[in-house]
């Protein structure tokens, strides 16, 4: 087990997470990697850290699991508003929601919590239990995966792998990115433009575009990773 302290994935430590995942792959080629995040982690930032241009071709996000302490949830209204907002945002992006400590709550509180989770994330696989006992099989089922090039988490955060993006001018590519809908959060990868000598690194974050040239002698694979919500319902002209 490797631990990254003194930070969270949503900020400066994101690059460290990506680096350690790459090192794990080079050393062990694991079939599955579990990442335990802090309580203040941004779900999208976690996915983003796992899908860098280097990691994307070898990575599939199989599930995002949210753990709810049923006893502590009874006091959710006493927490600061920004913490409550982050908590519900985290739950809305999860593919599995596990309600723990069910033995410490009454039936009425449990019913209220289940109803709330259904409204927040009706597509999630909601499970209940106690003592943190959650079936490993339920976490490893591949039902979330649609195709090789498209990963989806029950209609929540998705990622799409685009191999060999279409060849176009840099200006045309920027126009395409500018026209992406708001539910496309991130686009990154490597592209080559018409009449351009170098390969370019793509970094797009909802309106902000970075396209620095990459000066490398070795061949760089050309592909794009798109991260967003409900990507199956939009056409990506990339």
What are 37-78's pLDDT values in tens digits? 877 788 778 888 888 878 888 888 888 889 999 988 888 899
Please list, in sequence order, all residues whose beta carbon lies within 8 angstroms of the beta carbon of residue 229, skipping any fewer than 6 positions away: 155, 156, 157, 158, 183, 185
**118 and 194, same structural domain?**
no
Residue found under tokens 């395409």: 176
Which pLDDT score is estimated for 193? 92
**101 and 36, same structural domain?**
yes
157-163 and 213-214 strand pairing:
unpaired
For residue 205, the surrounding DSSP H or E stretch is strand 199-205
Structure confidence at residue 146 as a pLDDT band (50, 70, 90): very low
CB 161 within 8 A of CB 225: yes
**126 and 60, same structural domain?**
yes
Which pLDDT score is estimated for 2? 55
Which pLDDT score is estimated for 174? 92
What are 198-233's pLDDT values in tens digits? 889 888 987 789 899 887 666 778 888 888 877 877
Mean pLDDT in the chain?
80
Q: What 3-state class would DSSP assign to 110?
A: helix
- For the cut 70, the answer to whether the pLDDT of residue 1 exceeds it is no
CB 164 within 8 A of CB 223: yes
Residue 61 sits in a domain whose CATH number is 3.40.50.300
- For residues 140-166, give the mean pLDDT: 59
List the one residue out of 183, 221, 181 whose CA is nearest residue 202: 221
Percent of the chain with pLDDT over 70: 84
- For the cut 70, the answer to whether the pLDDT of residue 9 exceeds it is no
Question: What is the tally of structural domains in the chain?
Answer: 2
Which pLDDT score is estimated for 49? 85
Range of the domain at 117: 14-140
Percent of the chain with pLDDT over 90: 8
Residue 162 sits in a domain whose CATH number is 3.30.1220.10
């Amino acid at each position: 087990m490797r631990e990254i302290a003194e930070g969270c994935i949503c900020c400066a430590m994101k690059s460290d997470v990506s680096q350690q995942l790459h090192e794990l792959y080079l050393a062990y080629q694991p079939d599955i990697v579990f990442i335990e995040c802090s309580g203040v982690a941004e779900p999208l930032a976690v996915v983003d850290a796992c899908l860098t241009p280097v990691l994307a071709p070898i990575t599939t996000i199989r599930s995002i699991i949210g753990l709810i302490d049923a006893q502590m949830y009874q006091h959710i209204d006493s927490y600061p508003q920004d913490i409550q907002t982050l908590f519900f945002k985290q739950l809305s992006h999860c593919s599995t929601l596990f309600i723990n400590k069910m033995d410490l709550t009454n039936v009425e509180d449990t019913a209220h919590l289940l109803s709330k989770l259904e409204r927040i994330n009706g597509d999630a696989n909601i499970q209940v239990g106690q003592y943190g006992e959650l079936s490993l099989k339920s976490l490893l089922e591949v039902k979330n995966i649609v195709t090789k090039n498209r990963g989806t988490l029950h209609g929540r955060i998705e990622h799409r792998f685009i191999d060999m993006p279409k060849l176009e001018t840099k200006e045309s590519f920027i126009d395409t990115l500018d026209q992406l809908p708001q539910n496309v959060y991130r686009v990154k990868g490597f592209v080559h433009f018409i009449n351009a000598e170098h390969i370019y690194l793509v970094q797009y974050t909802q309106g902000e575009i970075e396209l620095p040239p990459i000066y490398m002698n070795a061949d760089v694979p050309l592909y794009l990773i798109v991260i967003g919500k409900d990507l199956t319902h939009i056409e990506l002209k990339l």
